[in-house]
Amino acid sequence: MLTQLGFTKLALVLFLGTIVVLVGAPFIVEFIVWILEKLGKKDIRQSDYLLQLETRAIQISDRTEYIIVAAVVIGISAAIYFHITEFVEHEDEPLWSLLLLHILPSVWINTGMLYNFYKSITTNAGTPTAADTEGGDICRMCGGPQPLGTFHCVTCDQCVKRMDHHCLFTANCVGEGNFPYFFSFVFWAWTATVYAVWLSFHPAGHCEETEEGLQCRGKVKFGLFLASILFCVLLSCFFGFVLILVARGETTRAFLDSNESKMMESFRQGSLLHKFESRLGKWQTWWRYAFPGMLLKVNSSK
């Protein structure tokens, strides 16, 4: 049994490692090229072989993205399953506790997370139209209008207005058209991890003397507790990073590329409130983000 369990864990680690390598193939190729340039291979980017390798890496990454999307759905489903099986006492849980501590927050949080995850995947990230002439540029790759802050995504093969990044977890770009949904998805995912950590210290637990000794409800499930802490830390860092970018009027692309950061200088002008409103809509509509998602409208600022 232990041998079988060890083999299962090893297989899972190898599977996850393979997915990471396949999804990150373009980044791995770029990192290798960067090292070669530092070693003196200045003409490496002119190689036809490198172009073919980069194209192949992008294709492999694209196909693997859908596995990542499926893994996110499975992960959310697993969290709901563990909540029901590990933390809800079906026999003697008081009705008020079941409703207020489990059913209502679980439905509220998971509905918000799944709805905004779905909208982040299916909503157009913001394709420029003929009316978008600000900046006056034409994309060299697709020939369409490319106003200020618009970039061509080689993965989606289209230009995206105020493109933030191409998200591996949604298999879609994040841009002007779907940023509110992406922001809300990250917010609800972070809220879910905080809720999971709280569940690990369920306050309704109590201990009773039985024939078998002291039996306690609400014990911390150590493995789930560690997983909750880990994901909470990761999501807290990422959600904080997103908030900082919005507060600075920047995108992920601009944060990583100094040249693009200079091009996006005009978006960093204005007050803190203006920067948040330009990404999340008018402040009078921000109450919508506290609801599962059906009330959220991307064009609420218009």
The pairing of beta strand 165-167 with beta strand 213-216: unpaired
What integer is the mean pLDDT of 195-211? 63
Lowest pLDDT segment from 51-55, 220-224, 240-244: 220-224
Query: Given this model, what pLDDT does residue 154 score?
Result: 78
Query: Given this model, what pLDDT does residue 69 score?
Result: 80
How large a percentage of the chain has pLDDT more than 70?
74
Distance CA 140, CA 66 (A): 28
Question: Could you report the per-residue pLDDT of 83-117, keeping only the tens digit for each?
Answer: 666 555 555 666 676 777 777 888 888 888 888 99
What integer is the mean pLDDT of 262-291? 82
Phi, psi of 51 (to 5 degrees): -60, -45
Q: Identify whether the C-beta of residue 129 lies closer than 8 Å to the C-beta of residue 123.
A: no
Q: Which residues touch 4 (CB under 8 Å, ≥6 apart)?
A: none
Average pLDDT, the chain: 77
